[in-house]
Amino acid sequence: MYEEHQHRNISGGGARAAVFGISDGLVSNVSLILGMAGAHSSAGAVRLAGVAGLIGGAFSMATGEYVSMRAQSELMERELDVERKAIAADPEDERRELAALYRSRGIEADLADELSVKMMRDPDLALETHAREELGFTPGDTGKPVEAALSSFVMFAIGAFVPLLPWLLTTGTNALWWSVVLGAVASLGVGAALSVFTGRSWLWSATRQLLISGAAATVTYTIGHLVGSG
């Protein structure tokens, strides 16, 4: 029996930026905070480091996401413009090129020629078809840099705030252990949420995220402890 299914629209980049943003915010700030705590820093110094890590990291992630996606969008738009001009200048040559692409994918020659003729009748459809078949994307899927940047900023800040929260409410060992507990719980949650996008087992994804966060936090805490003791 046929079951209707739907695909998520991930071309804009917002979903990807959100997932990476909250994961990076959590891992980087829990590592920074525990590294500072391991060095026996004062609660004020740990808070300052956590706040600086949150603000600086969020702006850095958003800027990097915007610049990379803007460059990608501009490159894709340039390739579309090249294809648009080629279709206008020599439509028959582009039709033969499209027919050749269809034949290379196993379509019989007559049917490939028929399909290419039909596709080339409408300039917009011709551009969409050539972009999809030759470039691997459609004209409407060139990405949304601003959406990706904002999503990355907000989600990084949320992830980075989790291990910082205990240091805003308490100090010392209590704050340290609450950072560890909240960081672990948040890592499991982020990993489980990631499985919704990837289709992988939520348990596997959550465990992987926990191990990555735990390894990073352990290394920075150990280094901080050694440097602080020295």
- The per-residue pLDDT for range 62-81, each reduced to its tens digit, is 999 899 888 888 888 888 88
Amino acid at position 41, single letter = S
Alpha carbons 129 and 80: distance in angstroms, whole number: 11
At 222 the pLDDT is: 94
Dump pLDDT digits (tens) for 191-214: 888 887 777 888 999 999 999 999
Question: pLDDT tens across 145-187, in order?
Answer: 888 899 999 999 999 999 999 999 999 999 999 999 999 999 9
The whole-angstrom distance between residue 158's C-alpha and the CA centroid of its chain comes to: 15
Q: Which long-range contacts (CB under 8 A, 24 or more apart) does 221-226 make?
A: 221/34, 221/35, 221/37, 221/38, 222/38, 223/35, 223/38, 224/34, 224/35, 224/36, 224/37, 224/38, 224/39, 225/38, 225/39, 225/40
pLDDT-derived band of residue 7, with 50, 70 and 90 as boundaries? very low
The residue among 198, 154, 158 whose CA lies nearest residue 14 is 154
Q: What is the pLDDT of residue 13?
A: 58
pLDDT for 136: 75
Burial class (CB in 10 A: 0-12, 13-18, 19+), 198: exposed
Mean pLDDT of 2-11: 47
Report in angstroms the alpha-carbon separations of 20 from 4, 24, 31, 40.
Answer: 30, 6, 16, 30
The crossing angle, in degrees rounded to 10, of helices 145-169 and 43-89 is 170
If you average pLDDT over residues 132-139, what whole number do you get?
76
Q: Are 134 and 78 in contact (CB under 8 A)?
A: no
Best CA proximity match to 184, nearest among 141, 157, 218: 218
Confidence of residue 230 (pLDDT cuts 50, 70, 90): low
Residue 148 pLDDT? 87
